[in-house]
Amino acid sequence: MTRDFATDPEVAADLDRQARTEADRSRTRETSTVIDSTTAATWPCLYCKTAVPVPRTAVEMRDTFNRALRARGQRPLEDTAVCSSCYAREEARRVELGEAARTRCAQLVRVITEGSVPPADSPIVRELRKLGHPDVDGLLKSLRERKSPGSTRGRGEI
């Protein structure tokens, strides 16, 4: 059975609300489209300490953030940047660490799915949370439902 969503009053109300929200200028913030790329300062690289040229727009943005931080009683941002070679190295390292975390999460999920469902405070569940698994609670709930005696869901069924 197909359903015509255009005639559904709930969908029509959502679309109307979306159109009003998009047209409401008070909900958007005007941003500057002009970027001044002239070098205004040189800051040391966070990693190798070489001098990195910093454009005027970046200095102005830093000053704006620092005013907001000081108003909240927080420490202002330091004058550091990241040079292009360190940025490339750190980005590759970040990708490598992310892949290692995903691989370890997959290993832990396989262990959990093949055995009994661990309690929420077990070391394996804590490690999954630490690695940044997106839905540990949902995973455990799904496994409990699948492994419960009265479950009719088979493996791989939705």
Q: Which of 1-15, 94-108, 137-151 is predicted least confidently?
A: 1-15
CB 155 within 8 A of CB 143: no
Q: Within 13 A of 156's CA, how many CA atoms are on the CB side? A: 0
Per-residue pLDDT band for 116 (boundaries 50, 70, 90) equals confident
CB 105 within 8 A of CB 131: yes
14 CB contacts (<8 Å, ≥6 apart)? none
Instruction: Indicate the burial class of 134 (C-beta count within 10 angstroms; 0-12, 13-18, 19 or more).
Output: exposed
Which tens digits make up the pLDDT trace of 75-113? 999 999 999 999 999 999 999 999 999 999 999 998 888
User: What per-residue confidence (pLDDT) applies to 50?
Assistant: 96
User: What per-residue confidence (pLDDT) applies to 19?
Assistant: 78
Q: What is the mean pLDDT of residues 130-139?
A: 90
